[in-house]
Amino acid sequence: MFVREPILLKVTNSFIGPYKIILLTLLCFYVLNYQLTLVAYSTPIYKDYNGFCDSTLTCFFANVDRSFKFDGGIGGGLAPPPKPDFSDSNTTTSEEVKFWLRFVFDNLYNMILMIVMINIVSGIIIDTFSEMREG
């Protein structure tokens, strides 16, 4: 079917052709994911993994597995952060610290890995397809 339709062949070749760049981007995704895994494992965030962060390896696999399964990246697959009481502005409780830590972690994970890295791969595929259409 792909051989008979030249446009389908171009679509297929647009993500098979630049496979080295896509694989290197995937490697970059895993390295960044591992860095965020280390942050999660070394902070109180690991408790929100519900037993899937007993070691850095299981925490890493949980991050990779849950990255694409939940809305908003890893934040949707973790236990919800505590709801701190912001009424007393003179003291900072551990719940407030954990809330802000999860807020920063979830948003960094979503912005860096889920938005930027996926758009890089999409841009590579779209750019390759447009070059094939012109040529």
Give the largest CA-CA distance in the chain. 71
CA–CA distance, 75 with 109 (Å, rounded to integer): 8
Looking at residue 53, its pLDDT comes to 92
For the record, the structure tokens of 94 come out as 């551990």
Looking at residue 130, its pLDDT comes to 85
CA–CA distance, 20 with 24 (Å, rounded to integer): 6
Mean pLDDT of successive 10-residue segments in the chain (135 residues)?
A: 76 85 94 95 92 93 88 82 76 83 91 90 89 76
Looking at residue 87, its pLDDT comes to 75
Domain boundaries, the chain: 16-130
CA–CA distance, 86 with 98 (Å, rounded to integer): 13
Looking at residue 56, its pLDDT comes to 94
